[in-house]
Amino acid sequence: MMSSSFCGPGGERFWFWAHRGASACAPENTLAAFRLAEAQGADGIELDVHISRDGVPMVIHDETLERTTNGRGRVADTRLRDLRRLDAGRWFAPEFAGEPLPLLAEVLEWAGERVPLNLELKDRRTGAAVLRLLHHYPQCRVLVSSFDHRLLKDLRAQAPQLPLGFLCESRLWRLALRRAQAAGAHSFHPRQDLVGSSLARAVRGAGLALYTWTLDDAPRAAALMRLGIAGLFTNRPGALRRELEV
């Protein structure tokens, strides 16, 4: 879990993160979407983590189940055995019916050394559970990101070598960047409409990789590449890579 083998601030390689997997073509945050992202040539996969009622890290974006499964209620109020009965694929298309909600452990086992993962964490309880789990998967190449910068600061104290990514959706990005630099982060992840020449220069000056989200439009992605972003998050990694010829 301590690997930092991602694209660095020097731009040695442009990095395509598959946002929730190849989520334009398969149900987000499922192993089907992750396998497809790998097949499409994504460099790494971004996914979201919540904790079940019994403390198990699950891969799902929302706090609640309704949007992406046939379940109801909060993930945090639902036991693992009940989460595992849910269908996380039919909402997207009939051919994905029966696709389960993945355990984070299953995704780590699948990825191994082969596929880098960006784990977006939502709260401190999630952070503690994920950190415990990662100790069982030292071979995995993991970057942990969050909008909760205090959570990331806590993780830095507990795991000094863990690569961290600071998410930012505020126009007060300079404050977030200072926090990232102080925590020894690997990367800074601003929303794509915040990225301009000033932000790009500041992130480079701080020595951090700049990954922006979420980009599916090739002309906008090309413009940001000219500003010096190190990589991006996209729902369509295969198509966007072909369009950008990267």
Query: Tokens for 104?
Result: 């984070």
Residue 96 CA to residue 173 CA, distance in Å, equals 39
Catalytic residue among 19, 149, 186, 189: 19
Q: At what angle do helices 218-227 and 237-244 cross, to 10 degrees?
A: 70
> Can you list the positions of beta strands (E) in the chain?
15-19, 44-51, 57-59, 117-121, 142-146, 164-168, 187-190, 209-212, 231-234
> Can you list the positions of beta strands (E) in 30-101?
44-51, 57-59
Catalytic-residue membership of 186: no
Q: What is the dihedral of CA 20, 238, 94, 114, to 10 degrees?
A: -60
Burial category of 243 from C-beta neighbours within 10 Å (exposed 0-12, middle 13-18, buried 19 and up): middle
Which residues lie below 8 Å from residue 117, measured CB to CB, with a gap of 6+? 44, 45, 46, 47, 107, 108, 111, 140, 141, 142, 143
Catalytic residue among 50, 61, 136, 149: 61
| Run of H or E including 33 | helix 31-39
For β-strands 44-51 and 57-59, DSSP reports them as antiparallel
Among 71, 79, 67, which Cα is nearest to 29's?
A: 67
Among 235, 209, 232, which Cα is nearest to 222's?
A: 232
Task: Just list the catalytic residues.
Answer: 19, 61
